[in-house]
Structure 1
Amino acid sequence: MSHFYDKEKDASFTSVYKAETPDILNAFADFNNAVFAAEGREIPLKYRELIAVAVSTTTQCVYCIDAHTQKAIAAGATDAELAEVAWVSSAIRAGGAYAHGRLAFKTASEHRH
């Protein structure tokens, strides 16, 4: 999907949301702003942004990887922290594949009987 990524042009299509569903767009913006508020949360912003980078790399959303990496750096994240985040998301993704592999074994055993 990343080959479709055009940071400048893609953002212009937000106008469709603004025209067709402005109430939902505003609700989403309010929600997102609350989640990533600089103050007033228990988890410091840098860590919330690092969590967002980990989730973004797991879901492979190039838009989110770009935005949240920049925001994590602005919040003080280091290259070492970004590297660890990438490894954490890799481990979780691999763990998911491992765990779901058991479903293949379960399905196979059910079809053999």
Structure 2
Amino acid sequence: MTDNAYFDRAEDKKYTSVYKKETPDILAAFAAFDNAVFQPEGRAIPLKYRELIALAVGITTQCVYCIDAHSQNAVKAGADEAELAEAAWVATAIRAGGGYAHGRLGFKLSGAHEH
């Protein structure tokens, strides 16, 4: 069983009905916000690059739903496999860099390293 064995592209969307029933105002606000962020025109960063950024963030947070949606949306916006690959490597580098940088806190917070 993989970490993403729970992922079902078709069936999982049915659970949006809980948001619609319980918190329709928040769901509407989120949808409006998301639509504004990813509107095709009128932003300084072209849509293809916003989708590649979203893909990299999805890879970093390991959100299979984000990876699924934003990889497809990036291709629809004109991205090719080389750009998808570079977005994945950017995410990987940032995630690794975070580990490296936060690892230094181990030295700082342990008290073992005295100035």
TM-score (norm 2): 0.93
Q: Which runs of 5+ in 1 are unaligned?
A: none
| Separation of aligned partners in 1, 2:10 and 2:21 | 19
| Separation of aligned partners in 2, 1:59 and 1:3 | 17
1:46 aligns with one of 41, 45, 48: 48
Matching of residues 68-87 of structure 1 within 5 Å: 68-87=70-89
Tell me what 1:37 maps to. 39
C-alpha displacement of 1:98: 0.2
Aligned residues: 112
| Separation of aligned partners in 2, 1:110 and 1:26 | 51
Query: Where does structure 1 differ by over 2 angstroms across 4 or more consecutive aligned residues?
Result: none
Tell me what 1:59 maps to. 61
| Separation of aligned partners in 2, 1:3 and 1:47 | 29
Tell me what 2:100 maps to. 98
* C-alpha RMSD of the superposition: 1.4
Q: Which runs of 5+ in 2 are unaligned?
A: none
Question: Percent of pairs identical after alignment?
Answer: 67
From the two aligned structures, give the one with the greater helix fraction. 1
| Separation of aligned partners in 1, 2:22 and 2:43 | 32
